[in-house]
Amino acid sequence: MSHSSLPPPSESGPDPKLGQAVFYARVALDVPLPGLFDYCSAQPVSVGQRVIAPFGPRQLVGVVVEVPDKPGIEPGQLRPLIQVLDDLPAMPVDWLRLMAFASRYYHRPLGEVMLPALPPPLRKASSYTGKRSGGGPVLRLEKRLKKAGAIASGFSGAAGLQTDAHQLNDEQQSAVSAIAAMQGHGVVLLRGITGSGKTEVYLHAARKVLDMGRQVLFMVPEINLTPQLEGVLRARFADFSGGHALAVLHSGLSDGERLESWLKAARGDARILLGTRMAVTTPMPDLGLIIVDEEHDASYKQQDGLRYSARDLAVWRGHDLKVPVVLGSATPSLESWNHAVQGRYTPLELTRRARETPMPDIKMVDTRRLRLEQGFSPQVVEAIEQRLQANEQVLVFLNRRGYAPVLRCTSCGWVSQCAHCTAHVVLHRMQHGRARLQCHHCGGYSPVPRACPTCGDMDLQPMGRGTQRVEEFLAERFPDARISRIDADSTRLKGSAERLFSEVHQGDVDILVGTQMVAKGHDFANLGLVAVLNADSMLFAQDFRAPERLFAQLMQVAGRAGRHRAGAQVMLQTDYPDQPVYRSLQRHDYKGFADYALGEREALGLPPFSYQALLVAEGRELAQALTFLEQMRDLPASRPDTYPTLDQVMLYDPVPLRIVRVANIERAQLLVESPSRPALQRFLTQWNEDLFQAGRQARVRYSLEVDPFEI
Ligand code: ADP
Ligand code: ZN
Ligand code: ZN
């Protein structure tokens, strides 16, 4: 954390009406400037307290980080705080430590870390200063809750849900015991095959912690994809806090709902906080256990602003508080797996399915010499037919939404391109038989041209297929089947994902067509066949993590099949049946895959055997971005004395992003790598300062990401 104190840009001088007693406050503000800002106050302030401070013509909520005896700037230039907020006690010290760590590690100003970590009403000055602010958001919420009487539990949709605790099998039992036996901090990596009952382990471990009067933070990648879990938690822990033990935190909540959950957890009223990545920074006074389910999931990584990994922050927080952390997955990230291999994490394993059903049989359908009909091999079509006749459900998995990824002119070869991005536009079917071209990068759309814009030919053909076209084909081929599609398009409206999933669970759907959304967490009881259509498209992606991601995704989607009975099958169509990813998948062999992949990473010096940071620059023209990056690549070597760890750091050549232009902005990136994390961190601290200066001069927007997930 930088202690340099820049004066707030003030036009007016100090307040002449200021009384005798003067206190000083060093405040973190959410502004894109490094450092902290000093103010004076007639009223005492304490560290962790929220305040409203003038900043230029604006008023901003900030957090007091220090109360110095003397200000860092001329007292005459100090401006007084507008308000010291006392609707909440000062933020707890462990929260301040977590924020300071995140600021340091991710190289972002403290204020840009702290303020976004608070629920919006607590960080907006207008919540306190506006005409209708009525004592601030906390008071308003309390009044509203009092008026509403007891808080509605919001417990719905759990009908038919099995919520009773299971008798644990021996593997589950020993996992729970091992977690309970942990003294203080330690990280457990719970690897359990799909359907092995990891959730049951979490719940039993959580109960032990709750019984000791401590709180539990339970993190999941996305809540709307696993609405069952909320119901199960509520029912299973109804004996705590009069049925109000659970608070839920995710981005689908309104500001008011978010504030309510946050307050319940921060005051200790909620004993379990179930949430997505944003939950990791919630103050919890009695925190005794952190669970990170599907720890490998990309959703734990924030992709803008502070690009943090909620899993990594959870591990840091557990360490700081001396509290155990359980990371669970069927396919752990190679980072976590390597920690376990090296003995830093305690490995626990669930090797059998909890319901004693066998894992589904996985069959590769070699498509090299097959004639496909709309992307389907005859074998897969026949298998679907058989499963439907046996009254079983079928899942068709395809990671591409829309009707067709591109529209093409058959006579001149024109293809539909986005006017603002270097990307094809995707043909989407709309309601009432209409269609349009949609860009998946900038979100823009345009009508489907009647004729080729280049040659005027009327014969424009959709090329390839997405979920909509697959759904259409299946409806023609299996006219009596009830077909449902679940992807980002069909679940855009609030509550629609829940509705579609519950139709599947109730058996109102015979064939489910879906993207990765359907792969996660769901316990489909009657699913007999999973058909995977275009996995190959992910095989040769440039990103070194692509095989890891593909393997995890395929294991997850395969794991939806046959959870409640034997005889289930997964069919994977591929032109490359001998790829190691597929071979390991076929044997359900995570360990084999992980060992192979880790060996490859080690040979190439890639993470987790090295540490990376990624600098992305953007401008109207690619040249601007590249010039800036080249300058930043060369700068450290020209000033070696300010970069003492430079000899341990490798700066790659700047390259354009794979999709160079998005929404008329062109982007390039520069990768930094080091075998030593401290050396990289030390380098980044200096580089970040230089970036700030150079970026201002070059008028280039940039972002620095530590431990980038996708390169
Ligand atoms: P995972 O998250 O590991 O894929 P789940 O936690 O969803 O697996 O559990 C799979 C299924 O097994 C669920 O339907 C769950 O209710 C059931 N289950 C879990 N533990 C047991 C147990 N000990 N005995 C019987 N069924 C169990
Ligand atoms: Zn044409
Ligand atoms: Zn676009």
**For 527-576, how does the pLDDT look when each residue is reduced to its tens digit (9 = 90+)?**
999 999 989 988 888 889 999 999 999 999 999 998 888 999 999 999 99
pLDDT, tens digit (0-9, with 9 covering 90-100), for 155-169: 444 444 566 788 999
Nearest ligand 1 atom to the CA of 198 is 3
Q: How remote is the CA of residue 195 from the centroid of ligand 1, in Å?
A: 6
Atom of ligand 1 nearest to the CA of 194: 4
Local structure of residue 345 (DSSP, 8 states):
S
CA 710 to chain CA mean position, Å: 13
Check if 194 has its Cβ closer than 6 Å to any atom of ligand 1. yes
Report whether the peptide linkage leading into residue 462 is cis, meaning its omega lies within 30 degrees of zero.
Answer: no
For residue 322, give every residue at least 6 positions away whose Cβ sits within 8 Å of its Cβ, in sequence order, or none: 184, 185
Q: What percent of the chain has pLDDT over 70?
A: 95
Output the six-digit token pair for 711: 């390169």
What pLDDT shows up at residue 240? 85
Q: Is the CB of 523 under 6 A from ligand 1?
A: yes
Q: Is the pLDDT of residue 398 over 90?
A: yes
- Name the DSSP class of 410: T
For residue 445, which ligand has an atom nearest its CA? Answer: 3
d(CA 291, CA 270): 16
* CB burial of residue 237 (10 Å; 0-12, 13-18, 19+): buried
User: Residue 354: nearest ligand to its CA?
Assistant: 1
- Return the structure tokens found at 401: 């939404």
Nearest CA to ligand 1 atom 23: 168
Residue bearing the CA closest to ligand 1, atom 2: 198
Closest ligand to Cα 407: 2
The single-letter code of the amino acid at 204 is H
The helices-and-strands tally (H runs, E runs) of the chain is 19, 28
Residue 6: predicted pLDDT: 46
pLDDT value of residue 4: 43
Instruction: Give the pLDDT band (50/70/90) at residue 494.
Output: confident
Of 231, 152, 232, residue with least CA distance to 197: 232
Q: Give the residue, 43 or 522, on which the prediction is more confident.
A: 43
Q: Which of 709, 617, 629, 596 is nearest to 666 (CA)?
A: 617
Distance 97 CA to ligand 1 centre (A): 37
Kindly state if the Cβ of 355 falls inside 6 Å of ligand 1: yes
Of 302, 291, 308, nearest to 106 by C-alpha is: 308
Instruction: Characterize the bridge pairing of strands 611-619 and 701-706.
Output: antiparallel
Domain boundaries, the chain: 11-127, 170-350, 361-403+465-601, 611-706
CA–centroid distance, residue 354 to ligand 1 (Å): 5
Tokens of 165: 């605790």
Helix (H, G, I), strand (E, B) or coil at 117: helix
The superfamily in CATH containing domain 170-350 is: P-loop containing nucleotide triphosphate hydrolases (3.40.50.300)
Element of type H or E holding 219: strand 215-219
For residue 461, pLDDT over 80 is answered with yes
Helix 198-211 to helix 170-180 angle, to the nearest 10 degrees? Answer: 40
CA of 199 to the centre of ligand 1 (A): 7
| Residue 355 CA to ligand 3 centre (angstroms) | 47
Q: Which residue has tokens 């996708």?
A: 710
Taking the centre of ligand 3 as the mean of its atom positions, its distance from the CA of residue 446, in whole angstroms, is 10
Q: Which ligand is nearest to the CA of 422?
A: 3
Q: Is the pLDDT of residue 226 over 90?
A: no
Encoded tokens for 74: 């001329």
Considering the four listed CATH numbers 3.10.20.30, 3.40.1440.60, 3.30.450.20, 1.10.490.10, the one that applies to the domain covering 11-127 is: 3.40.1440.60
Which ligand approaches the C-alpha of residue 412 most closely?
Answer: 2
Is 331 touching ligand 1 by the criterion CB < 6 Å? no
Which residue's CA lies nearest to atom 20 of ligand 1?
197
Please indicate whether the domains covering 11-127 and 170-350 agree at the CATH topology level.
no
Nearest protein CA to atom 14 of ligand 1, as residue: 523
DSSP codes of every residue in 31-68: SSSSSBEEEEESS---TT-EEEEEETTEEEEEEEEE--
For the CA of 172, the closest atom of ligand 1 is: 23
Give this prediction's pTM: 0.93
Q: Is the CB of 195 under 6 A from ligand 1?
A: yes
Q: What is the pLDDT of residues 120-158, one digit of tens each?
A: 999 999 999 877 787 899 999 999 888 876 544 444 444
Annotation: CATH topology of 611-706: Alpha-Beta Plaits (3.30.70)
Query: Hey, what CATH class is 361-403+465-601 in?
Result: alpha beta
CA 711 to centroid of chain Cα atoms: 16
End-to-end C-alpha distance for the chain, whole angstroms: 27
- For 232-274, the DSSP string reads HHHHHTTTSGGGT-EEEE-TTS-HHHHHHHHHHHHTT--SEEE
Question: Residue 2: its pLDDT value, please?
Answer: 39
Confidence band of 8 (pLDDT split at 50, 70, 90)? very low
**Ligand 2 mean position, distance from CA 651 (Å):** 44
Q: Is the distance from the beta carbon of residue 565 to the nearest atom of ligand 1 less than 6 Å?
A: no
Position 147 scores a pLDDT of 84
Q: Which of 11-15, 36-40, 517-521, 666-670 shows the lowest mean pLDDT across its residues?
A: 11-15
Range in 123-137, 417-431, 432-446 with the lowest mean pLDDT: 123-137
| CA 270 to ligand 1 centroid distance, Å | 26
Rounded distance between C-alpha atoms, residue 430 and residue 437, angstroms: 10
Q: How far is CA 321 from CA 98, 142, 344, in A?
A: 10, 30, 17
Radius of gyration of the chain from Cα atoms? 27
The single-letter DSSP state of residue 122 is H
13: pLDDT strictly greater than 80: no
**Tell me: the pLDDT tens digits for 247-299?**
999 998 999 999 999 999 999 999 999 999 999 999 999 999 999 999 999 99
Of all protein residues, the one whose alpha carbon is nearest to atom 15 of ligand 1 is: 197
CA-nearest of 192, 468, 488 to 354 is 192
